[in-house]
Amino acid sequence: MITKTLVIAPHPDDEVLGVGGTLLRRKAEGVKVAWLIVTAISVQSGWSEEKVNQRADEVKRVTELFGFDEVFTLNFPTTQLDRLPMSDLVGGISEAFRSFKPDEVFVPHPSDVHTDHRMVFDSAASCTKWFRYPSVKRVLAYETLSETDFGLGTDQGFRPNVFIDIEPFLDDKLRAMDIYASELGVFPFPRSHEAIRALAALRGAASGFKAAEAFELLRERS
**Dist. CA 45–CA 8, nearest whole Å:** 22
Kindly report the CATH number assigned to the domain that includes residue 71.
3.40.50.10320
Kindly report, residue by residue over 77-114, the tens digit of the pLDDT: 999 999 999 999 999 999 999 999 999 999 999 999 99
User: What is the count of structural domains for the chain?
Assistant: 1
- In Å, how far are 21, 29, 74, 75, 76 from 41, measured between CA atoms? 26, 33, 11, 8, 8
Look up the domain containing 47 and give its range: 4-220
Separation CA 220–CA 193 (nearest Å): 32
What's the pLDDT at 48? 95
Residue 154's pLDDT band, with cuts at 50, 70 and 90, is low
Mean pLDDT, the chain, as a whole number?
Answer: 96
**155 has a pLDDT exceeding 80:** no
Q: ∠ CA 25-221-36 to the nearest 5 degrees?
A: 50
pLDDT tier, 152 (very low <50, low <70, confident <90, very high otherwise): confident
